[in-house]
Amino acid sequence: MRTPAGKECKYFYGNYFRGRNVEECRLLQASGQKWSADLCYTCPVPAILQANACEFLKLQGTVTRPLSAVFQRRVRVTAFCEKTNRSVSEPQIGCGECHPLPPVFQVKE
């Protein structure tokens, strides 16, 4: 569904049927975090979902405020691969085990 920032995200839910105005982020809701529409503008999740569609990649989001109270709140994302049972340092790329590169792209020595 399209977020208030105009990006597609499978974790955003909006119900506007017959005058309703219910919006929520189910990724943050699952971890017990408070969501507001301004978080969608700086959220990295839509870009991660567009770059990596692995079915085994599970994301977990937390709301943080960098350095001091002057900066706006941001969503920090951690990723975990359920196939290899390890954390993923770069969610856009993945763990490297689920979808290996084809032999055309590998360097031969």
Burial profile 73-85: b = 16 or more Cβ within 10 angstroms, e = fewer: ebbebebbbeeee
Q: Is the pLDDT of residue 108 over 90?
A: no
- Given this model, what pLDDT does residue 98 score? 83
Query: Could you report the per-residue pLDDT of 80-104, keeping only the tens digit for each?
Result: 999 999 999 999 988 888 877 777 8
pTM, entire model: 0.81
Please classify residue 39 by burial: count the beta carbons closer than 10 Å to its beta carbon, then call 0-12 exposed, 13-18 middle and 19+ buried.
buried
What percentage of residues in the chain have a pLDDT greater than 70?
96
Task: Map residue 30 onto helix, strand or coil.
Answer: helix
pLDDT of residue 38: 92
Residues 8-31: pLDDT tens digits? Answer: 999 999 998 988 888 999 999 999
